[in-house]
């Protein structure tokens, strides 16, 4: 029987896959990182470490630049719940850099992980110590979990509605996105809170 490739060689090949913009359907399984690189649950810790390097200010000039993106995509496909908190912890730094990748991809990553991601996402969303767009990313992740996993819809809707009901005037963009995510989930049960949010917004605009 051929010897199974060791982790470093497989991870190294994944990290040199190249420009991730060529593989934008990853959240639909194309490419299938797990199958292509023979990844296993035992690879999760090293993939998390690589993924978190996207915050590095000193970046390589070759294709390994994109290793963190391929790593977090692989973590999503592995349904690695233990990756949620470490990746959420990078968001404020990424936001400070003006990074767009996390805003474009983390919600899909969290959606693939599914219900095990909900608690960490909800805690992050409720924490006003985080930036507005990082919190929007967490809310988007919750919405994506509910879309992919209907059994999580009620909990997600309740979480988003509670956050919207706080009526935080200093996070207008977050409030608008919360309304949008509830609309995406057809959350008729949140109509009263959504109506109040619109009323508060109109009141603020009139002053």
Is residue 60 located within the same domain as residue 120? no
- Taking every pair of Cα atoms in the chain, the longest distance, rounded to a whole number of angstroms, is 75
- Global pTM reads 0.90
| Assigned domain for 83 exists | no
pLDDT digits (tens, 9 = 90+) for 60-82: 777 789 999 999 999 999 999 99
pLDDT digits (tens, 9 = 90+) for 126-145: 999 999 999 999 999 999 99
CA dihedral 182, 188, 189, 194 (to 10 degrees): 60
Q: Is the predicted pLDDT of residue 49 greater than 50, yes or no? A: yes
pLDDT digits (tens, 9 = 90+) for 90-109: 999 999 999 999 999 999 99
Is residue 108 located within the same domain as residue 138? yes
DSSP letter for 152, please: G
- What would the DSSP string read from start to end of 37-89? HT--GGGHHHHHHHHGGGG-SS--SSGGGGHHHHHHHHHHHTT-GGGHHHHHT
| Residue 9 pLDDT class (50, 70, 90 cuts) | confident
pLDDT digits (tens, 9 = 90+) for 160-183: 999 999 988 889 999 999 999 999
The token duo for 55 is: 């915050």
Q: Is the predicted pLDDT of residue 192 greater than 50, yes or no? A: yes
The token duo for 44 is: 């999760």
If you search the block for the tokens 């977050």, which residue do you land on?
A: 174
Nearest to 117 by CA among 154, 90, 156: 156
- Cα(173)–Cα(179) distance, rounded to whole angstroms? 10
pLDDT at site 4? 45
CB 118 within 8 A of CB 152: yes
Is residue 53 located within the same domain as residue 107? no
pLDDT at site 120? 98
The token duo for 19 is: 């420009």
Residue 137 lies in domain: 99-207
| Assigned domain for 88 exists | no
Q: Is the predicted pLDDT of residue 152 greater than 60, yes or no? A: yes
- 168 versus 36: the higher-pLDDT residue is 36
Is residue 61 located within the same domain as residue 112? no
- CA-CA distances (angstroms) from residue 198 to 105, 138, 176? 29, 22, 9
Residue-averaged pLDDT of the chain? 91
Q: Report the SS3 class of residue 121.
A: helix
Please state the domain count of the chain. Answer: 2
Residues 186-204, mean pLDDT to the nearest whole number: 78
The token duo for 137 is: 């990313």
- 87 versus 12: the higher-pLDDT residue is 87
């Amino acid at each position: 029987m051929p010897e199974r490739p060791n982790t470093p060689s497989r991870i190294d090949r994944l990290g040199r896959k190249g420009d991730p913009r060529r593989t934008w359907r990853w959240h639909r399984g194309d490419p299938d990182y797990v199958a292509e690189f023979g990844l296993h649950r035992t690879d999760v810790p090293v993939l998390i470490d690589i993924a978190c390097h996207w915050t590095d200010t000193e970046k390589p000039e070759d294709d390994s630049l994109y290793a963190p993106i391929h790593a977090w995509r692989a973590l999503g496909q592995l349904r690695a719940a233990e990756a949620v908190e470490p990746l959420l912890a990078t968001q404020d730094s990424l936001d400070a850099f003006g990074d767009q990748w996390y805003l474009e991809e983390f919600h899909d990553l969290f959606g693939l992980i599914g219900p095990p991601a909900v608690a960490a996402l909800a805690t992050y969303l409720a924490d006003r110590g985080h930036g507005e767009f990082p919190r929007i990313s967490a809310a988007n992740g919750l919405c994506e979990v509910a879309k992919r996993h209907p059994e999580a819809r009620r909990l997600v809707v309740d979480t988003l509605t509670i956050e919207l009901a706080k009526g935080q005037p200093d996070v207008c963009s977050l409030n608008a996105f919360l309304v949008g995510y509830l609309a995406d989930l057809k959350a008729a049960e949140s109509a009263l809170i959504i109506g109040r949010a619109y009323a508060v917004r109109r009141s603020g605009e009139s002053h």
